[in-house]
């Protein structure tokens, strides 16, 4: 290419920002650096959870494998390794329930394995309080459902060896589990689907015993003589503990329902505030934001008591609340409201509201563009451009990454608006402004 001679006019110009780029204090640089550090720490913990989970769950499943083969001596060390790894990782994420949720499947597999081993040793169902690790009610009940499925497999294997008494015991245990779980009012969730599988385990065990009763096996004669009646639940498990778990689950569900209902008020008031701000009704917007804040503060004691209640409706409501406050502050000062001025929201909620705020800025900019207020549009673009650059430095999860894509889309739309404004100010009509069809020529009319 060195031998090719080209005129200087062929060299492209250096890029420059759209519109003005000399606005100051659009965002708090120091705060975004803190965000970056905090998200890095969170990502490291998340990676460590996944890494530990990839070690723990295979150990628990391996223990179940050995239990089905009768190699109980192999299981003790596997369980000890599970406890050691789980204790270490749980100590690091005890303050973050979302990261704790990553280990849920590992805990369920470990509980299933522990119950299976306890059953083979005693013929009883392992209590939640007897577990070597602290498990949630959901994890314990999920492990209980998994244990029932393993008994279904175990019973089929014992039936091939004509071990009718073991099959009878498996049926009694699974029927007791099913009868106790029927007392729960499970919502639509993964646990509900696991519970729905219990009835198939019960039916399969009943079918195995029926099929054995049709054989001439000496061991199966007890099935037709009625020597073995189903055992009472209290003889196989701690019924009082299961009742306590049921009451705790019902109390949690009732609290969660109340939070979902009240969180709708946070979302509704915040949306109404944004609606009012777009129509320059700041007083009504202030009233709506005050109502949203009151609703959030009412729920906060329940959220602090159990952080799992924060995720979902309440979290979404706070994102909307943060979006409304950030938009309100932008209309007043032209800058981004720092997170420290919104103490109710956490980092992920603030970032979610911040990204959603860019959509409102886009709408506001279009309204200003129709009135040819170019400086206002340029400021909107400067804010989105700056936020886009800051977001690229943040290590966000997949859900937040999707929101960040929306920010990039909003920025590109504003660039198009500025381009069209540059044509309009030069006396050109853009395609979006051309509303009337071209007039027909005299020749066309003839």
442 — pLDDT class (breaks 50, 70, 90): very low
Please, is 161 exposed, middle or buried when counting C-beta atoms within 10 Å of its C-beta (0-12, 13-18, 19+)?
Answer: exposed
- What is the DSSP-derived secondary structure letter of residue 133? S
Per-residue tokens: 245: 């778990």
Question: Which is higher by pLDDT, 295 or 2?
Answer: 295
Question: CA gyration radius for the chain?
Answer: 32
Contacts of 359 (CB under 8 A, 6+ apart): 406, 410
Closest by alpha carbon to 259, among 305, 320, 310?
310
Q: Residue 192: how many CB atoms within 10 A of its CB?
A: 12
Per-residue pLDDT tens digits for 366-398: 999 999 998 999 999 999 998 988 888 887 777
CA atoms within 13 A on the CB side of 116: 34
Predicted confidence (pLDDT) per residue in 273-284, tens digit = 999 999 999 999
Angle between helices 347-370 and 374-391 (to 10 degrees): 150
Rounded mean pLDDT of 49-59? 93
pLDDT 10s digits, 343-368? 999 998 999 999 999 999 999 999 99
- Give 427-437 pLDDT, tens digit per residue: 655 555 554 55
CA distance 350 to 373: 29
Q: What is the pLDDT of residue 225?
A: 60
What does the DSSP 8-state code read for residue 373? -
What's the 3-state SS for 152-185?
HHHHHHHHHCCCHHHHHHHHHHHHHHHHHHCCCC
> 347: exposed, middle or buried (C-beta count within 10 Å: 0-12, 13-18, 19+)?
middle
Residue 65 banded pLDDT, cuts 50, 70, 90: very high
Provide the pLDDT for residue 431.
Answer: 56
Sequential DSSP letters for 323-345: HHHHHHHHHHHSSPPPGGG-TTS
pLDDT of residue 84: 95
Handedness of CA 83, 85, 91, 93 (dihedral sign): negative
In this predicted structure, what is the pLDDT of residue 219? Answer: 66
């Amino acid at each position: 290419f060195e031998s090719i001679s080209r005129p200087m006019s062929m060299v492209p110009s250096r890029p420059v920002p759209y519109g003005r780029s000399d606005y100051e204090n659009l965002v708090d640089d120091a705060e975004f650096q803190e965000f970056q550090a905090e998200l890095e720490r969170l990502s490291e913990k998340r990676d460590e959870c996944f890494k530990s989970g990839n070690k723990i769950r295979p150990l628990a499943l391996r223990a179940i494998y050995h239990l089905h083969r009768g190699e109980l001596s192999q299981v003790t060390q596997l369980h000890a390794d599970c406890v050691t790894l789980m204790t270490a990782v749980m100590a690091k994420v005890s303050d973050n329930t979302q990261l704790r949720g990553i280990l849920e499947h590992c805990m369920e597999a470990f509980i299933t394995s522990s119950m299976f081993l306890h059953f083979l040793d005693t013929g009883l169902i392992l209590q939640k309080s007897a577990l070597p690790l602290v498990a949630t009610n959901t994890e314990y009940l999920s492990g209980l459902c998994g244990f029932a499925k393993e008994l279904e497999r175990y019973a089929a294997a014992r039936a091939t060896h004509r071990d009718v008494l073991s099959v009878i015991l498996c049926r009694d245990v699974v029927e007791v589990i099913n009868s106790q779980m029927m007392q729960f009012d499970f919502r639509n969730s993964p646990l509900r689907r696991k519970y729905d599988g219990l009835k198939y385990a019960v039916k399969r065990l009943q079918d195995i015993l029926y099929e054995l009763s049709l054989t001439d096996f000496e061991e199966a004669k007890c099935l037709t003589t009625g020597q073995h009646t189903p055992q009472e639940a209290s003889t196989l498990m701690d019924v009082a503990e299961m009742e306590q778990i049921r009451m705790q689950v019902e109390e949690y569900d009732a609290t969660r329902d109340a939070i979902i209902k009240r969180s709708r008020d946070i979302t509704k008031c915040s949306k109404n505030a944004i609606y009012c701000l777009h129509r320059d009704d700041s007083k009504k917007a202030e009233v709506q934001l005050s109502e949203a804040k009151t609703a959030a503060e009412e729920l906060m004691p329940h959220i602090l008591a159990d952080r799992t209640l924060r995720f979902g409706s309440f979290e979404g409501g706070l994102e909307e609340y943060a979006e409304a406050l950030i938009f309100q502050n932008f209309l007043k000062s032209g800058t981004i409201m720092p997170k420290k001025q919104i103490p109710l929201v956490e980092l992920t909620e603030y970032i979610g509201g911040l990204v959603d705020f860019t959509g409102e800025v886009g709408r506001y900019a279009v309204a200003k563009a129709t009135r040819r207020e170019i400086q206002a549009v340029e400021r909107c673009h400067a804010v989105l451009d700056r936020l886009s650059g800051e977001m690229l430095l943040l290590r966000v999860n997949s859900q937040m990454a999707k929101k960040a894509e929306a920010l990039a889309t909003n920025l590109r739309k504003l660039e198009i608006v500025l381009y069209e404004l540059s044509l309009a100010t030069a006396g050109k009509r853009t395609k979006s402004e051309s509303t009337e069809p071209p007039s027909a020529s005299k020749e066309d009319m003839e």
